[in-house]
Amino acid sequence: MKQYRMNPDRKYVDIIINGIMKKEGHCPCRVNVDETTLCPCDEFIATGICKCKLFIPLEEVKVEESK
């Protein structure tokens, strides 16, 4: 997904990645564990919304960098 990138907050990303590893590759923000919750989850692929904010739109990155 070209319009998105990984969240630039390294500490936050480490927490989310650890959650993904604990759930064997599944989104840590999801209760259910099935093939639709493997990171990147089907909802993110379909809608572009990453509930755990691991992936964020490039516009948000540009705003953060300009602060």
- Three-state DSSP at 43 gives helix
Tokens representing 57 are 């739109």
Which pLDDT score, from 0 to 100, does residue 49 have?
A: 92
Residue 21 to residue 17: CA distance in whole angstroms: 6
Q: For 1-38, write each residue's pLDDT tens digit.
A: 678 999 999 999 999 999 999 999 999 999 999 999 99
pLDDT value at 63 more than 80 = no
Tokens representing 64 are 């953060």
Residue 59 to residue 31: CA distance in whole angstroms: 29
According to DSSP, residue 41 is labeled P
Residue of 66, 48, 64, 63 lying closest to 9 (CA atoms): 64
